[in-house]
C-alpha cells in the first residue's frame, strides 16, 4: 500500500495494523461490536491524497469500488454487479448496480468514478498515487502534464455503465479495482467541504459497509458503524467497530487482558511469552522496511557510504531479537511470497541476484566507510535518523543506531515524531536518513519496484538510474503483454537497485497478535488494504 504505507504502522514489530477500538466496558452480547487498535493516528480519509496503510484499511471498509477483494485476494462484485473484458484486454466495461447510494442519499453512479479518477490524476490535487493509473489511456501523459484530465481513458455511458480503455495490458488491473485509490468520490461532497474534505468524519460521505464516526485528524479513538444505506447491508453483521490508538504494546496487552480489546499486536518479547496461547495468531505481510537516504545530501550520493551502512546491519539479529512477529530478514525490496515466475513458479526473490553488500560484514563495512569518507574529503559523518514515535519503531532505530555507530567516525542521532509527520517529511525530503516502509498495493512485484523510478512521487530518496527506469518502463509498456519478458524486466530492475544500494532493505514484517476466538469472519490479505470487515461477526 504508498509512501507507503509507510511508517504509519510498524506492523508485526509489536504494533498492530488492524483497525482500532476505543477502550470501554465489556460489550453486550446483544450487540455486534468489535474492538481493536492501531499504533498511530488516522491522518486522512481523502483517497486521492492519503498514503498511509491504516487510512487504506479504513477506506476499504467505509467505501467501496467497482470490485472487492475477498479471501486470498479473490475478485468479488462491488459497486459493479458485472463486467466484461475485450478480447485484446484493452477495454473493460463495468455494469454498475442501480441501488448503491452514498451515505448522504446520493446515488453512486459511473460519473462518480470518472470524477474520482480524474481528481486523483489532476496535478492540482497533489496525489502521490497517480502513477498507479499508468497503462490506462493517457494516464502517463496527464501525470506529465501533457494531456488534460478529461482525456483519461474512463467514460460514463449513462449512470450505470463505465468503460475503461487501456493503452496496454495491465496484468493486475482487476486487483487495482479493489484498491481504494480507484474507488468513487461524490463530487458534491468534495466541493462542499473543500480543503477540509476527508479531515473529519462529517467532512466525507460513504458508500461502503460502514461509516466513520467520532473522528478528526488528531483523534486517538473513533468508530465505524454499519451503513444503513449500503447496497448489501444485509451481509454486514457488525453494528460497530471501535478503534483506539495504542502506541505501547504493554498498554495494548493490558487492555486485551482486561477485556477491553478483542485483539492486540504483540512485541517480540510478548510473542515469546504467549507462543503456546490458543488465541495466538500469526500473519505474513507483503512489506519491506528499509533505510532511505536523502540523495540531495552530497555524502549520501557516495555508493560506498551507502553500502557500508547496509553491511553494518545484522538483519537476522534485528528480525529475531528486536522485530519478532514473524518478520524475516528479506534482502530484497520486493517481499517474499508475493509473486511467482510465470515460467517455473519460482518466487520472485529467488530469481534475484543478491549482492554481497546486502550481507552483514562489519570488517568490510568499516573498509567501505573509510574509503567513502576519503572520497568525499571527510574524516567523519553525522546524520539524524528520522522515524515514527511508537514503541516498536523506537526499538528498531535504537538497534540501528548501535549497529551503525560501530563504523569509526559515524555518529547517528535519532528523531522520533508522530507517524503522519514522518510521512509528510519523507514526501518533502525533510530528512537525512529515514526508516521507511512499503506495503504491497496488489500481488505483483511492480507495486514495490515502481516507487524507485526517477519520477515516482514515492521515491523519497530521489534515487535515479536510467537503466532501472528503462526496465520499469518496458515492464509497464512494451512487455506488459509478455509475462516472461515482463518478469525478467522486473528481476533485472531489482538487481540494479540492490547493486547500486538505492535503499537499504532491512526486513519483511509479519504480525503476531492475540485474538478473541469469538471474533470471526475477518478477511485478511497481505497485499492491498489488509483488512475487510464486511463479513466479520462476534460469535
Q: What is the CATH number of the domain that holds 41?
A: 3.40.190.10
Owning domain of residue 267: 1-63+204-283+513-539
In a domain? residue 192: no
Cell numbers 480524474 correspond to 118
Same domain, 447 and 528: no
As given in the structure block, the three cell numbers for residue 400 are 540501528
Same domain, 275 and 388: no
Query: Are 277 and 302 found together in one domain?
Result: no
pLDDT range class, residue 30, cuts 50, 70, 90: confident
Please report the pLDDT score of residue 29 as a whole number.
Answer: 52
Predicted local confidence at residue 8, as pLDDT: 34
Please check whether residue 162 is in contact with residue 155, taking contact to mean a CB–CB distance below 8 angstroms. Answer: yes
What is the count of structural domains for the chain?
A: 3
**Cα angle 234, 175, 4; round to 5:** 105
Q: Does 484 share its domain with 375?
A: yes
Verify that 535 and 408 share a domain, yes or no: no
CA distance 474 to 448: 16
- Asked whether residue 53 falls in the same domain as residue 80, the answer is no
Same domain, 487 and 466: yes
DSSP 304-337: HHHHHHHHT--HHHIIIIII-TT-B---SSSPTT
- 193 assigned to some structural domain: no
The last residue of a domain, from among 157, 185, 213: 185
Residues 470 and 327 reside in one and the same domain: yes
Percent share of the chain, pLDDT over 90: 83
Q: Has residue 408 been placed in a domain?
A: yes
Residues 536 and 114: their CA atoms lie apart, in Å, by 31
User: Do 402 and 314 fall within a single domain?
Assistant: yes
Question: Which CATH number is 140's domain given?
Answer: 3.90.76.10
Residues 411 and 474 in one domain: yes
Look at residue 52 in the predicted model and tell me its pLDDT: 85
Model pLDDT, residue 506: 98
Q: What does the block give as the cell for 206?
A: 460513504
Res 27: pLDDT? 45
Q: Is residue 532 part of a domain?
A: yes
Residue 123 lies in a domain: yes
Which of 185, 212, 247 is the C-terminal boundary of a domain? 185
Can you tell me the mean pLDDT for 239-253? 94
Cα dihedral value 201, 94, 447, 334, nearest 10: 110
Question: Is the pLDDT at 39 greater than 50, yes or no?
Answer: yes
Instruction: Name the least confident of 136-145, 228-237, 266-275.
Output: 266-275
Q: Is residue 194 part of a domain?
A: no
Q: Are the beta carbons of 386 and 394 closer than 8 angstroms?
A: no
Residue 335's pLDDT is 96
Report pLDDT digits (tens) over 182-211.
999 999 999 999 999 999 999 999 999 999
Report whether pLDDT(439) > 60: yes
Strand order in the sheet with 210-213: 33-38, 240-245, 221-226, 210-213
Residue 18 above 70 pLDDT?
no
44-97: per-residue pLDDT in tens? Answer: 999 999 988 889 999 999 999 999 999 989 999 999 999 999 999 999 999 999
Helices (H), 63-137: 110-121
Where are the extended beta strands (E) located within 7-90?
33-38, 67-69, 75-77, 80-85
pLDDT digits (tens, 9 = 90+) for 134-154: 999 999 999 989 999 999 999
Q: What is the CATH number of the domain that holds 307?
A: 3.10.105.10
Residue spans of alpha helices (H) in 289-405: 303-311, 315-317, 362-375, 391-404
Instruction: Please indicate, yes or no, whether residues 318 and 278 belong to a single structural domain of this protein.
Output: no
* CA distances to 369, 452, 479 from 54, in Å: 37, 23, 34
Instruction: Identify the helix (H) or strand (E) that includes residue 424.
Output: helix 419-427
Question: Is 342 in the same domain as 474?
Answer: yes
Using 50, 70 and 90 to split pLDDT, how confident is the model at 6? very low
Percent of the chain scoring above 70 in pLDDT = 95
The answer to whether position 76 is within a domain reads yes
pTM, full prediction: 0.82
Q: Tell me, yes or no, whether 260 lies in a domain.
A: yes
Whether the Cβ atoms of residue 501 and residue 310 lie closer than 8 Å to each other: yes
Amino acid at each position: 500500500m504508498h509512501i507507503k504505507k509507510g511508517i504509519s504502522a510498524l506492523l508485526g514489530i509489536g504494533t498492530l495494523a488492524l483497525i482500532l477500538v476505543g477502550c470501554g466496558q465489556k460489550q453486550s452480547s446483544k450487540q455486534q461490536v468489535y474492538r481493536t487498535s492501531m499504533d498511530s493516528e488516522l491522518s486522512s480519509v481523502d483517497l486521492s491524497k492519503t498514503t498511509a496503510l491504516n487510512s487504506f484499511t479504513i477506506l476499504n471498509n467505509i467505501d467501496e469500488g467497482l470490485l472487492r477483494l475477498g479471501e486470498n485476494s479473490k475478485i468479488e462484485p462491488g459497486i459493479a454487479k458485472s463486467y466484461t473484458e475485450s478480447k485484446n484486454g484493452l477495454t473493460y466495461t463495468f455494469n454498475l448496480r442501480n441501488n448503491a447510494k452514498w451515505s448522504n442519499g446520493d446515488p453512486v453512479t459511473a460519473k462518480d468514478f470518472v470524477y474520482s479518477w480524474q481528481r486523483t490524476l489532476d496535478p492540482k490535487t497533489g496525489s502521490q498515487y497517480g502513477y498507479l493509473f499508468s497503462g490506462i489511456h493517457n494516464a502517463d501523459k496527464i501525470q506529465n502534464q501533457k494531456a488534460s484530465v478529461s482525456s483519461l481513458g474512463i467514460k460514463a455511458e449513462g449512470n450505470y455503465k463505465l468503460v475503461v480503455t487501456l493503452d496496454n495490458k495491465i496484468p493486475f488491473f482487476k486487483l487495482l479495482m479493489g484498491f481504494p485509490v480507484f474507488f468513487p468520490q461524490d463530487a458534491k461532497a468534495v466541493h462542499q467541504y473543500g480543503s477540509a474534505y476527508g479531515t473529519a468524519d462529517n467532512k466525507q460521505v460513504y458508500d461502503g459497509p460502514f461509516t466513520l464516526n467520532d473522528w478528526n485528524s488528531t483523534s486517538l479513538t473513533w468508530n465505524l458503524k454499519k451503513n444503513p444505506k449500503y447496497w448489501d447491508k444485509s451481509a454486514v453483521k457488525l453494528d460497530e467497530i471501535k478503534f483506539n490508538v495504542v502506541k505501547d504494546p504493554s498498554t495494548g496487552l493490558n487492555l486485551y487482558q482486561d477485556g477491553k480489546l478483542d485483539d492486540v499486536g504483540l512485541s517480540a518479547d510478548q510473542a515469546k511469552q504467549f507462543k503456546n496461547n490458543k488465541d495466538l495468531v500469526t500473519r505474513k505481510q507483503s512489506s519491506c522496511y528499509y533505510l532511505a537516504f536523502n540523495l540531495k545530501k552530497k555524502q549520501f550520493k557516495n555508493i560506498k557510504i551507502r553500502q557500508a551502512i547496509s553491511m553494518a546491519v545484522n538483519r537476522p539479529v534485528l528480525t529475531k531479537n528486536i522485530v519478532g512477529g514473524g518478520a524475516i530478514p528479506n534482502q530484497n525490496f520486493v517481499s517474499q511470497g508475493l509473486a511467482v515466475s510465470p515460467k517455473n513458479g519460482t518466487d520472485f526473490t529467488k530469481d534475484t541476484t543478491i549482492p554481497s553488500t546486502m550481507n552483514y560484514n562489519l570488517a568490510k563495512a568499516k573498509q567501505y566507510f573509510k574509503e567513502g569518507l576519503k572520497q568525499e574529503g571527510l574524516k567523519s559523518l553525522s546524520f539524524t535518523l528520522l522515524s515514527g514515535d511508537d514503541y516498536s519503531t523506537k526499538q528498531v532505530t535504537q538497534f540501528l543506531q548501535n549497529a551503525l555507530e560501530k563504523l569509526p567516525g559515524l555518529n547517528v542521532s535519532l528523531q522520533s515524531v508522530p507517524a503522519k509527520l514522518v510521512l509528510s517529511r519523507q514526501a518533502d525530503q525533510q530528512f537525512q536518513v529515514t526508516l521507511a516502509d512499503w506495503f504491497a498495493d496488489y500481488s505483483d512485484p511492480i507495486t514495490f519496484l515502481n516507487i524507485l523510478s526517477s519520477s515516482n512521487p514515492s521515491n523519497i530518496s530521489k534515487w535515479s538510474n536510467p537503466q532501472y527506469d528503462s526496465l520499469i518502463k518496458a515492464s509497464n509498456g512494451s512487455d506488459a503483454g509478455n509475462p516472461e519478458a515482463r518478469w525478467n524486466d522486473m528481476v533485472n530492475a531489482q538487481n540494479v537497485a540492490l547493486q547500486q544500494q538505492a535503499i537499504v532493505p532491512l526486513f519483511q514484517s509479519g504480525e503476531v497478535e492475540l485474538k478473541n476466538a469469538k471474533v470471526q469472519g475477518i478477511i485478511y490479505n497481505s497485499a492491498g488494504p489488509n483488512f475487510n470487515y464486511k463479513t466479520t461477526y462476534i460469535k
